[in-house]
Amino acid sequence: MELFTTATKEHDEGRQGEAYVSTLKKDPFAKHFYIESYGCAMNFADSEVVASILENNGFGSTRNIEQADLILINTCSIREKAELTVRKRLTEFRKYKQQKPGMLVGILGCMAERLKSKLLEEEKLVDLVVGPDAYRTLPDLIIEAGTGQKAVNVLLSRDETYSDISPVRLDSNGISGFVSIMRGCNNMCSFCVVPFTRGRERSRDAFSIVAECSDLFEKGYKEVTLLGQNVDSYYWNNPETNLQVTFAQLLESVALISPQLRVRFSTSHPKDITDEVLFTMMKYHNICKYIHLPVQSGSTRVLQLMNRTYTREWYLSKVARIKELMPECSISADIIAGFCTETEQDHQDTISIMQQSAYDYCYMYFYSERPGTLAEKRYEDDVPLEIKKRRLQEIVDVQWTLSNESNKKELGKCYEVLIEGNSKKSDAEWMGRTSQNKVVVFPKTNKDNTTPLKKGDYVDIVITHYTKGTLIGAIKNN
C-alpha cells in the first residue's frame, strides 16, 4: 500500500490549473455559473467536477442566482417525484432568464441522460442538455448554446471517471468531502433507472483517489466518503504495472493517509460485501463503523423480481456477520414499499427483516415505476398508491421505534465525535458525528474543560439524552 502514498505526487500535476483558476476568480468580468444539485451524493460530487471544469475555462462560481450568466441544474431520475421537483424548479428559473437576456440554462445529470433532446422540446427555456459522462465537453457546449443553438451531449462512456479533475468543493463544511471512486452500475436491479442514466460500471484510478483524499486532508478536511453505486465491486487494474486494487485495498490505502482522517463509504451491495472489507474496517480505527446496506425488501420472492440476486437469508447472514465482527457497527438500509406484486405477507417480511436487522437508520420510499427499467417492461405496477403509502407509513413507524431503541442504548456511553460546526439551533453548541454516523449535539464548554474546541477537532462526548434523530451529550471530564 506504500505504493499509493508515494505515487500521489504524480497526480499533483493534475492540479496545475489551480493558479490560473484563482486568477480568473479574481476577474470581475468573468462569466458566472450557478449550480444546483439533486439526487444522490454522486450527483453532488459530479457538480464539484463540473465546477472545476468551468473554473478552468474562465467561469467563476456564484451562489447568487441573480448574478449568474449560466444556471445549471444537476438532476436525478430515481423516482418520479425527483423529476417533478426539477421540473418545478425549472419554472422558477424562467424569471431569472427574463431578467437577464443571454442567460443560459443547462440540465445536467440523470434526467438529461434519460430524456435527452426531448427535454429541449418539453422545457423551452433549456439551452443545454448534458449527460453525466459528457461534462468535459461543457465549455464547447456553452459556446455553442451562446450562439443561440441548443446544445446536447448525452454520450455515455465506458471509461470516463474524471480521475484527473480536482473537484472544486461547493457548499462544503470544510471538514467532510465526497470522493467518487467509480461510476455507473452493472447490476440491473429491475426497479432502477441508474444503469440507464449512468452507464456501465467503471472504477477510477486508485492513485488519483488516494491523491484526492490526501489533498483534502492537507486542506484541513477530516473525513472522506468514498462513493460508488456498489463500492464492493470496485476493481482497478493499473495498466502500466498490472497492479490490481480491490475495494478493501483501496479502503486501506485511504485509511493509511492519516489516523486523523476518517473514512466512510457508500453504497455497499449485500451480494458483494466481503469479509476482506469487514476485516479492513476492523483493522483501522479511522474507518468508520457504519455500513449502508440497502435491503429493498424482506421477501425473497420480491427480491428475486427486483433482481437483487440475494435472498432474505443471505441478507440476514451478512448483517449477522457484520455484528459478529463489529458489534459496535451501525447499519442503515434503503427500503422500497409496494413493488410490483407485493402482498401483505411480503410487506410483513420487510417489517420483520427490519426488526431482525435492527437498523439504526433507514431511507424509505414507495415504489415509483421508471420508464425503460426492467420492471416497467416485465411487471405490472399493480399495488395501488394508497396501499403503497400505507405500507410505507408502517415501515416508517417501525423504523422510528428501531431508531429510538438504538438511540436509547447510547445513553451513558462515550463516543469520539468529529466536530462539523455549530448546531442548527444554537451557536453555543457544537454538532458532530460518531464513527457510527450518529449526529451528536453538545454544549461548547463545560466547567472542567477550558481548552476551546474548533471545527474539525475530535472530542470525547458522553451521551446524556436523545431526541428523534439526534443524540445530546456533554464533553467528557478528563
297 binds ligand SF4 (CB under 6 A): no
Backbone φ/ψ region at 103: left (φ over 0), alpha (ψ -120 to 50), beta: beta
Cβ–Cβ < 8 Å for 462, 401: no
Closest approach of Cβ 137 to ligand SF4, in Å?
Answer: 25
267 binds ligand SAH (CB under 6 A): yes
By CB under 6 A, name the binding residues for ligand F3S: 39-40, 42-43, 76-78, 109-110, 193-194, 197-198
Of residues 277-316, those binding ligand SAH (CB under 6 A)? 294, 296
Q: Using CB distances below 5 to 8 A depending on partner kind, what does residue 77 bind out of ligand SAH, ligand SF4, ligand F3S, none?
A: ligand F3S
Site string for ligand SF4, 221-260 (x = CB under 6 A): --------xx------------------------------
336 binds ligand SF4 (CB under 6 A): no
Of residues 354-373, those binding ligand SAH (CB under 6 A)? 365, 367-368, 370
Closest approach of Cβ 319 to ligand SF4, in Å?
Answer: 18
Closest approach of Cβ 182 to ligand SF4, in Å?
Answer: 11
Of residues 167-186, those binding ligand SF4 (CB under 6 A)? 185
Task: Tell me the C-alpha distance between 414 and 460, whole Å.
Answer: 6
340 binds ligand SF4 (CB under 6 A): no
Closest approach of Cβ 310 to ligand SAH, in Å?
Answer: 11
391 binds ligand SAH (CB under 6 A): no
203 binds ligand SF4 (CB under 6 A): no
- The closest residue (CB) to ligand F3S is 39
Of residues 290 and 442, the one with the C-beta less far from ligand SAH: 290
Of residues 180 and 434, the one with the C-beta less far from ligand F3S: 180
Q: Using CB distances below 5 to 8 A depending on partner kind, what does residue 110 bind out of ligand F3S, ligand SAH, ligand SF4, none?
A: ligand F3S
3-state per-residue secondary structure call for the chain: CHHHHHHHHHHHHHHCCHHHHHHHHHCCCCEEEEEEECCCHHHHHHHHHHHHHHHCCCEEECCCHHHCCEEEEEECCCCHHHHHHHHHHHHHHHHHHHHCCCCEEEEEHHHHHHHCCHHHHHCCCCCEEECCCCHHHHHHHHHHHHCCCCEEECCCCCCCCCCCCCCCCCCCCCCEEEEECEECCCCCCCCCCHHHHHCCCEECCHHHHHHHHHHHHHCCCCEEEEECCCHHHCEEECCCCCCEEEHHHHHHHHHCCCCCCEEEEECCCCCCCCHHHHHHHHHCCCECCEEECCCECCCHHHHHHCCCCCCHHHHHHHHHHHHHHCCCCEEEEEEEECCCCCCHHHHHHHHHHHHHHCCCEEEEEECCCCCCCHHHHHCCCCCCHHHHHHHHHHHHHHHHHHHHHHHHCCCCCEEEEEEEEECCCCCCEEEEECCCCCEEEEECCECCECCCCCCCCEEEEEEEEECCCCEEEEECCC
Closest approach of Cβ 40 to ligand F3S, in Å?
Answer: 3
Closest approach of Cβ 108 to ligand F3S, in Å?
Answer: 10
Among 204, 264, 269, 438, binds ligand SAH (CB under 6 A): 269
78 binds ligand SAH (CB under 6 A): yes
Closest approach of Cβ 309 to ligand SF4, in Å?
Answer: 10
Among 167, 195, 298, 456, binds ligand SF4 (CB under 6 A): 195
Cβ–Cβ < 8 Å for 73, 112: no
Residue whose grid cell is 448554446: 145
Closest approach of Cβ 107 to ligand F3S, in Å?
Answer: 12
191 binds ligand SAH (CB under 6 A): yes
What CA–CA distances, in Å, run from 369 to 33, 304, 381? Answer: 34, 17, 7
Closest approach of Cβ 181 to ligand F3S, in Å?
Answer: 14
Of residues 70 and 193, the one with the C-beta less far from ligand F3S: 193
Q: How many amino acids of this chain bind ligand SF4 (CB under 6 A)?
A: 10
Closest approach of Cβ 230 to ligand SF4, in Å?
Answer: 5
264 binds ligand SF4 (CB under 6 A): no
Q: Provide the sign of the torsion angle of the four alpha carbons 18, 22, 27, 31, taken in this order.
A: positive
39 binds ligand SAH (CB under 6 A): no
Contacting residues toward ligand SAH, per CB under 6 A: 78-79, 191-192, 194, 229-230, 267, 269, 294, 296, 334, 336, 365, 367-368, 370
